Structure 1
């Protein structure tokens, strides 16, 4: 089976022929565009003003605020992305940076079930079948609230047994991963700033 491409691999492939165009460059007031010549596919703009940076274009739009020169702020990570720290600096809070990931949810649920199995004397088979039908099948749907509701409701007691299979504190479980579009924006920022700074150094 073919391995799924990572966001970084997607980004590298889709920007292999991109070029930079500086539309405005006055101190921390900048407007820099990145695009493949002759097409607007997968293009983006980096716009900065004192204390702010906005990325916009084919990617989702995010605005960050932290330091006077935001190119300097992002450049501190030396071309690497720092999704957690950068997300804390987003000013348009309505945007999405993390999303429910069904594969992560299923892995966390099965892990918790297997941990529980170690102190149960009953066979795990009937309980796991119940878990599959009442929780794991729902987790596949891709809706976090439905999955969390199913987790909170689930319990299983086999016929003739007093042992109860159930989960606790499931609201603490992290069932999310970084959003693909947010990661792509992070890579675009890091890559774009490197291109800009390299061009300035050469000049």
Structure 2
């Protein structure tokens, strides 16, 4: 994932004791929390929230929202199942002075969290262990 192996090593250390709690799972709408304390948040906790065409990462640091633009056939399928979608897109201006040369360590950490979190959730649900990650139960 990262060209900097220090970020991958740090992520592994920071999340070694994290447990997955599924706060909500309804089709494409999911809210997952990863923390070393099940009853609340802990150091370097993070959450993943999914919805159609979007993924939200939030945690101890900054939050990030990843979206894709829906194609016409995707929009038609969604309207058939959900209803119309409101577009809340915005743009930045006056960014000429920004010196964006590399990714921040927290962004790279978040990318590792997304990959690891999705993989853990997929393993859990693939083996039929989803109930173990309900808010009142824990899965490693």
- TM-score range with shorter-chain normalisation? 0.5 to 0.7
Quote the Cα distance in structure 1 between the aligned partners of 2:91 and 2:43. 26
Calculate the aligned-residue CA RMSD, in Å.
2.6
Write out the 4+ residue segments of structure 1 that deviate beyond 2 Å after TM superposition: 91-94
Q: Which residue of 2 aligns with 1:29?
A: 29
Q: Which has the higher helix share?
A: 1
Q: Distance in 1 between the 2:25 and 2:118 partners?
A: 13
Aligned to 2:111: 186
Q: Which residue of 2 aligns with 1:57?
A: 59
Verify: 1:176 aligned to 2:101, yes or no: yes
Tell me, in whole angstroms, the C-alpha distance in 2 between the residues paired with 1:6 and 1:194. Answer: 21
TM score, norm. by length of structure 1: 0.44
TM-score by length of 2: 0.63
Contact kept, 8 Å, 1:52 with 1:67, in 2: the verdict is: no
Cα pair 1:59 1:185 within 8 Å, conserved? no
Structure 2: which 5+ residue stretches go unaligned? 71-88, 93-97, 129-140
CA gap of 1:92–1:41, structure 2 versus 1, over 3 A, is farther
Shift of 1:46: 0.4
Tell me, in whole angstroms, the C-alpha distance in 1 between the residues paired with 2:90 and 2:11.
Answer: 23
Q: Name structure 1 gaps, 5 residues minimum.
A: 69-90, 95-99, 101-143, 145-174
- Size of the aligned set, in residue pairs, is 100
Spell out, residue by residue over 1:42-61, the C-alpha distance to the aligned partner (whole angstroms, 9 max, x if none): 00110111111101121320
